[in-house]
Amino acid sequence: MEKLIAAVSMVRNDTIFADKWISYYGAQLGFEHLYLFVDGMDQPLPKGAEKINCFQIPHKPYPRAQGDKIRAKKISNFAQSLYPKYHSVLAMDIDEFLVVDPKTNLSLKMYLQQKFTTSSRSALGLDVGQHLQYEQAIDVQKPFLSQRSFAQVSDRYTKPVVSLKPLQWGSGFHRVKGKNFTLDPNLFLFHFGLVDWHQAQEKTKESELLRSGWKGHFDRRFELYKALEKQRPQPGDTFFEKARNYFIKTRKWYAWNKPAPLKGPSVIKIPKRFQTLV
């Protein structure tokens, strides 16, 4: 019997990611298995909203850190309610895309239907940005990875986005509360928040986000552009195994269930086999 996989996310003030999220995960899992919360009755619905389970909810303003906690709790509780109908429930930010390595010759759905013994699976995080010296503005009508060749391997985006039983995610889906993480050898989480420099710059000007305390977060995030400019990219496949081993073995004592940051250069060239996937 086919095992069903669901995906859940939330969106507000989006410009390019919700449509991509619906088209990508819909093709992978089936549109009827997508659950998207649109945060604000004033928000336009994304393209394809009628094909999925789309819930428009009233917006409540919170400081950034508090808002992240409330969002994670809401989505965790909702994801828990989807069991036992689903074999697995995925939860992620709207600009994050879970991909199974094409080397497996399996679709994401087929890969996730196997029997896992853990309560969650983490995917290796790749923070994709626009290399301003070599790459043009993003064309949303084409696959993102056909236009972007570089990423930074990141502990921040190495997230347990795959739940295999009811659980509680922490803020930003960076950890599962009270449980360790299992880093899957074939899953990648591509983060596209900075995939287009101009679009990202415009995001930093939104008064609502600035009032909520996002400036420091934006400043830290934009370090990615400097890293892409200054670091010599390493071959992805060579670095992936090294990064996985480090993340599995290295933790901060106060964050035992999350991987610790990598030390040294971590910019990679994305292998060509991923170019048409997202």
- Domain of 162: which CATH number? 3.90.550
- Left (φ > 0), alpha (ψ -120 to 50) or beta: where does 154 sit? beta
Q: What does the pLDDT average to over 81-89?
A: 97
The predicted structure's pLDDT at residue 72: 93
Q: What does the pLDDT average to over 120-147?
A: 96
The predicted structure's pLDDT at residue 218: 67
State how far the Cα of 34 lies from the Cα of 195, in Å rounded to an integer.
23
The predicted structure's pLDDT at residue 20: 96
**pLDDT > 90? residue 176:** yes
Q: What does the pLDDT average to over 153-175?
A: 95
The predicted structure's pLDDT at residue 211: 66
CA max distance for the chain:
51
State how far the Cα of 197 lies from the Cα of 130, in Å rounded to an integer.
6
Which class for 50: exposed (0-12), middle (13-18), buried (19 or more C-beta within 10 A)?
exposed
State how far the Cα of 66 lies from the Cα of 59, in Å rounded to an integer.
14
The predicted structure's pLDDT at residue 214: 57
What pLDDT band is residue 240 in, cutting at 50, 70 and 90? very high
The predicted structure's pLDDT at residue 269: 97
What share of the chain has pLDDT > 90, as a percent?
A: 82
The predicted structure's pLDDT at residue 255: 84
Q: What does the pLDDT average to over 143-153?
A: 97
Cβ atoms 145, 270 nearer than 8 A: yes
- 187-211 in b/e burial notation, b at 16+ Cβ within 10 A? bbbbbbbbbbbebbeebeeeeebee
What's the total number of domains in the chain?
1
What pLDDT band is residue 1 in, cutting at 50, 70 and 90? confident
Q: What does the pLDDT average to over 39-54?
A: 94
Mean pLDDT estimate for the chain? 92
Backbone torsions φ then ψ of 204, nearest 5 degrees: -70, -15
The predicted structure's pLDDT at residue 216: 63
Cβ atoms 91, 8 nearer than 8 A: yes
State how far the Cα of 207 lies from the Cα of 22, in Å rounded to an integer.
27
Domain that residue 21 falls in? 5-274
Q: What does the pLDDT average to over 206-225?
A: 70
